[in-house]
Amino acid sequence: MIRASIVGGSGYTGGELLRLLHFHPNVEIAQITSREHAGRYVYIVHPNMRNISRLQFVHPDALEPCDVLFLCLPHGQTASQIDRFASLASYIIDLSADFRLDDPASYERWYGHAHPAPEWLPRFVYGLPERNREQLRRAHYASGVGCNATIVNLALYPLIQAQLLDRAYAELKVGSSEGGARATHASHHPVRSGAVRTYRPVGHRHLAEVQMMLGEDAPMHFSVTAIEMVRGIHLLAHVELIEPQTSRDLWRLYREHYNNEPFIRLVNSCMGLHRYPEPRIVAGTNYCDIGFELDADGRHAIIIAAIDNLSKGAAGSAVQCMNLMLSFDESAGLSFSGIYP
């Protein structure tokens, strides 16, 4: 049994980690921190944990040594304290954007300032198990993943790897929890309710992670639109293929890449209501559902995918990374199937 602590536990990602780790067979949650809520029971902030967890938030200054630290601080705060955190735990998984990119110049380009601890960047493995599984098995430090980058990387990687992708244009529809737990003008209920608001048509920061995973010259673009949904991301990508393909060709390609992946499900049914990936089906789970359709000419494919932004797009992938880093069963604590309807 290992002892894990969550730093910055009052946000949605911290709450999701609390839920997942509480039911993990190999983990005891040692501490969960919050400046604002220190001394309060966690269920005051995360009411789904009522009668499940009796943990109380502690002040970050009271953080004690443990085996694994999950860092859920706002972007920009982890890097300035990384030496302190590294002195407290042998394994660190940072869910912010501070250590996702492996190049200081790229970080400065996308985040607008120099990285506070560039010497630490090479020590972190990008925490997408489907791409970096073997590196994670040897790692002591893993970065989190951008939720939008995760769905793009997983949905399009087989086409990139097979050198079939000529160009892709993806539309990502996202839920309100992607904006975090702290209220803003954009999340004010009369503004957010009923929204179909495109807020990042070009240049989303998560594109940096896509380029890092798929290649700097990957011929793809994506836009992000907020819709009436709390949890989830829905991707619909119009893909131009270099060579004509059949549906059987694409099915074979995706199965070759993902047939042995515990959290990738291929969805392309000719029966039933839910014939394509849908965010509500994966809500609360670590699954990424991927499906497709092909035009008659065989050159134009529609790739469809769905994840829960708080789980597979954040906390779920972080727990999956921990499982690999500590040689646990990769699916431990992540086997929840979701609920329906």
Give the model confidence (pLDDT) of 293-311 as tens digits. 999 999 999 999 999 999 9
Q: Which residues carry out catalysis?
A: 147
- Whether the pLDDT of residue 22 is over 90: the answer is yes
User: Which DSSP string do the residues of 196-246 spell out, in sequence order?
Assistant: EEEEESS--TTHHHHHHHH-TT--EEEEEEEES-SS-EEEEEEEEESS---
Q: What is the mean pLDDT of residues 22-40?
A: 98
Q: In this structure, what is the dihedral angle of CA atoms 159, 161, 164, 170, given to the nearest 10 degrees? A: 40
Q: What is the pLDDT of residue 118?
A: 97
Residue identified by tokens 């966690």 is 42
234-246 tens-digit pLDDT:
999 999 999 999 9
- pLDDT for 54: 96
Q: What is the pLDDT of residue 217?
A: 84
Q: Indicate the average pLDDT of the chain.
A: 96
Question: In this structure, what is the dihedral angle of CA atoms 182, 183, 189, 191, given to the nearest 10 degrees?
Answer: -120
* Domains delineated in the chain: 2-123 (3.40.50.720), 147-309 (3.30.360.10)
pLDDT digits (tens, 9 = 90+) for 107-163: 999 999 999 999 999 999 999 999 999 999 999 999 999 999 999 999 999 999 999
- Distance from first CA to last CA of the chain, Å, rounded? 35
* Banded pLDDT at 271 (limits 50, 70, 90): confident
pLDDT of residue 100: 97
d(CA 269, CA 181): 36
Q: Taking a C-beta distance cutoff of 8 angstroms, is the pair 324, 129 a contact?
A: yes
The length of the chain, given as a count of residues: 341
Instruction: Report the range of poorest mean pLDDT among 81-85, 189-193, 261-265.
Output: 189-193
Q: What confidence tens digit (pLDDT) does each residue in 326-339 have?
A: 999 999 999 999 89
Q: What is the pLDDT of residues 169-202, one digit of tens each?
A: 999 999 999 999 988 888 888 988 999 999 989 9
Q: Which H or E element spans position 257?
A: helix 247-258
pLDDT at 317 (0 to 100): 98
E strand or H helix at 289:
strand 288-294
Q: With 90 as the cut, is the pLDDT of residue 216 above it?
A: no
266 φ, ψ to 5°?
-90, 125
pLDDT at site 140: 98
Residue 216 neighbours by CB under 8 Å, 6+ apart: none
Distance CA 34, CA 56 (A): 10
pLDDT band at 166 (very low <50, low <70, confident <90, very high): very high
The confidence score (pLDDT) of residue 87 equals 98
Residue 27 reports pLDDT greater than 90? yes
Which residues, in sequence order, are CB contacts of 148 under 8 Å at separation 6+? 172, 174, 178, 204, 206, 222, 224, 233, 309, 313
Antiparallel, parallel or unpaired: β 66-71 and 2-7? parallel
* The overall pTM is greater than 0.85: yes
Question: Over 80: is that where the pLDDT of 269 sits?
Answer: no
Q: What percent of the chain has pLDDT over 90?
A: 90
